[in-house]
Amino acid sequence: MKLVLRTNNPVQLDFAEVLLKDAGIASYRLDEQMSVTDGSLGILPRRLMVADEDFARAETLLKEGFASEAPWTTGS
């Protein structure tokens, strides 16, 4: 397993998980329970892991997914 994302932002984590799932890449969240024990203050980042053989593809997908501008921010 390799770390593909570490974040305190639950929306970013959800988005990354959906991107990977849509590409057929299984991902696993770690440290969610630890973040709850800190009082849900968001102090401890959550980790998103993928299998070693999926890492390069997952990393590319996330870089592309997070680099693109959200369609609702482009103003017409």
CATH of 2-73, one of 3.30.70.790, 3.30.300.20, 3.40.1160.10, 3.40.50.620: 3.30.70.790
Average per-residue pLDDT for the chain: 84
Contacts of 44 (CB under 8 A, 6+ apart): 8, 31, 34, 35, 38
Averaged over 23-45, what is the pLDDT?
Answer: 77
Amino acid at 6: R
Q: Please, where are the H alpha helices in 1-76?
A: 10-22, 32-37, 55-67
Query: Taking 60 as the threshold, does the pLDDT of residue 13 lie above it?
Result: yes
Condensed to tens digits (0 to 9), the pLDDT of residues 17-27 reads 999 999 999 99
pLDDT band for position 62 (cuts 50, 70, 90): very high
Distance of CA 27 to the CA centre of its chain: 9
Every domain of the chain and the residues it spans: 2-73
Query: Taking 60 as the threshold, does the pLDDT of residue 35 lie above it?
Result: no
Q: Please give the pLDDT value at position 76.
A: 45
